[in-house]
Amino acid sequence: MYRTVYSPQGARVNLDGREVINMASNNYLGLASHPDVIRAAKLALDQYGVGPTASRNIVGNFPVHDELEKALAKYKGVEATLVFNCGVSANTGVIPFLVGKGDMIYSDELNHGSIIDGCRLSGATVKVYRHKNMESLEEKLKEPVVGKKLVVTDGVFSMDGDLAPLPEIADLAEKYGAMLMVDDAHGDGVMGPMGKGTVDYFELRHRVEVETGSLSKAFGSAGGFVAGSKELIESLRPKARSFIFTASPMAPCLAAAALKVIQMVSEDDTYVKRLWENREYFANRITKLGLNIGTTVTPVIPVIVGDGELAQKMSQDLFEKGIFAQAIQYPMVPKGAARLRVMISAGHTKEDLDLAGDAIEESAKTMGLI
C-alpha cells in the first residue's frame, strides 16, 4: 500500500498523519505550493471552471493552453510546443507519430517506462542499447535498415540521476542518419542555464529534433509536452492519439499554474541556484559518510544499499525518524541495486538537509552499511 499525503507538497509534508521531511517528490524547485502559483491556478478555476470536459481539438482548448505552449517554447528555445495531459501521454503520443512498422528505434536500456510503451505502440522494431554505452549504440546503428531511424533517451535518468552522453549520442545519430529524441522530464527546470534542460546544458539545441517533458516535476503542476520545430508540432497536433482521443486534456488551472512557474523561472534563476546548492551540500554529506550514491550528478540522489528488503527497512526506519525517502527495488532497478531514492528540492532548508543526513547516517549505522 502506498502512503497518503494530507498537506500541500513541500519540503515538509503530512504523510499518513505524521509531519515528515519530504525527500521523495519531484518538486525540484519547491514551487508546487508557492502562493503565486496557487493564486494563478485559483484565478483560472474561477475563469474556466474545473474540468475541460472535451478534447482540445473539439471544445477543450483554453487560451491558457496556447499561452503555456508559447511560454514553454520561448523558455526552451524551440519554435513550438504541444501540451499533453501528462508526460506519459507525450511519449506515447509522439513516438508512434515519428516512426512505425519498418522503422527502427534505438533505446537506452534504462529509458523511462513511457518511452518503452511509446516504442511498443509505434510498431517499429526496437533495439535496446546498453545504458549510456556508445559502442553498443553504434554497433546497432551500423546494422542496415530500410526505414527511418530514431534514437531515444532520457536526458536525466530518473532512478540513478545520471546524464545521457548527449553530445556523443548526437554525433552517432548524425553519422547514421537517425532522428534524436530526448525525454527531459527530470532535466527541465533543473539542468543548464535558467534550468532550460539537458539539451541546453550540452548546447545541443540545433541537433535534437524532438524533446518531451513533464510539468509534474520542477514545474510543480501536472501535464506533459512535446517540443520541437513548428512543422513537427503542427503535424503532430492532429495525429497524436493520446492528444486527440482524450477529453481529459491538461486542466486549465494546472496549465495556469505551470505557466506561472515558467514565467517565474524564466525571469529569476534563484530557485535553480538554490536547488543546486542544496544538491551539492547533501551529496557531499552522503558521500563523506561512505555511502554509495552511484553515478548521480543531479538532484536525484540514490543511496544504493543492494538488498530490496534492506531498502524497505531503511525507508521505514527513516519514516519513524521523521524523514520520508522512497525505497526502490526490482523491477524498478536491477536486482541487487535496491536503494533509497533521495530527491533534493530548492524548498529544503539547510536544517531539513541536516536532519535528513543525520537520520540516514544513524539508520545506515544501525543497518551495518557504514
Q: Residues in the site for ligand PLP, rule: CB under 6 A? A: 86-88, 91, 112, 114, 154, 158, 183, 185-186, 214, 216, 224
**Nearest distance in Å: CB 85, ligand PLP:** 8
Phi, psi (deg, nearest 5) at residue 218: -60, -30
Residues annotated catalytic, as ranges: 158, 186, 217
**Nearest distance in Å: CB 175, ligand PLP:** 26
DSSP strand pairing (224-228 vs 326-328): unpaired
Q: Which amino acid is at 260?
A: K
DSSP strand pairing (80-84 vs 224-228): antiparallel
Residue nearest to ligand PLP (CB): 87
Contacts of 204 (CB under 8 A, 6+ apart): 166, 167, 170
Taking the C-alpha atoms of residue 159 and residue 28, their distance in angstroms, rounded to an integer, is 15
Determine how many CB atoms are found less than 10 A away from the CB of residue 135: 9
Name which of 52 and 224 has its Cβ closer to ligand PLP: 224
Name which of 162 and 183 has its Cβ closer to ligand PLP: 183
Name which of 149 and 217 has its Cβ closer to ligand PLP: 217
Buried b (16+ CB within 10 A) or exposed e, 224-253: bbbbbeeebbeebeeebebbeebeebbbbb
Taking the C-alpha atoms of residue 287 and residue 300, their distance in angstroms, rounded to an integer, is 14
**Nearest distance in Å: CB 203, ligand PLP:** 21
Q: Which amino acid is at 348?
A: H
Name which of 325 and 360 has its Cβ closer to ligand PLP: 325
For 193, which DSSP code?
Answer: G
Phi, psi (deg, nearest 5) at residue 257: -65, -45
**Nearest distance in Å: CB 138, ligand PLP:** 24
Name which of 21 and 156 has its Cβ closer to ligand PLP: 156
Name which of 117 and 269 has its Cβ closer to ligand PLP: 117
Instruction: Provide the grid cell at 152.
Output: 531515444
Look at residue 44 and give its three-state secondary structure. helix
For 156, which DSSP code?
Answer: B
**Nearest distance in Å: CB 220, ligand PLP:** 12
**Nearest distance in Å: CB 239, ligand PLP:** 20
Instruction: Provide the grid cell at 42.
Output: 485559483
Give start and end residues of each alpha helix (H) in 143-269: 166-175, 198-201, 230-236, 241-244, 252-267
Name which of 212 and 363 has its Cβ closer to ligand PLP: 212
Cα angle 56, 123, 88 (rounded to 5 degrees) comes to 40
**Nearest distance in Å: CB 158, ligand PLP:** 4
Taking the C-alpha atoms of residue 249 and residue 239, their distance in angstroms, rounded to an integer, is 15
Cα angle 3, 185, 8 (rounded to 5 degrees) comes to 35
Name which of 197 and 224 has its Cβ closer to ligand PLP: 224
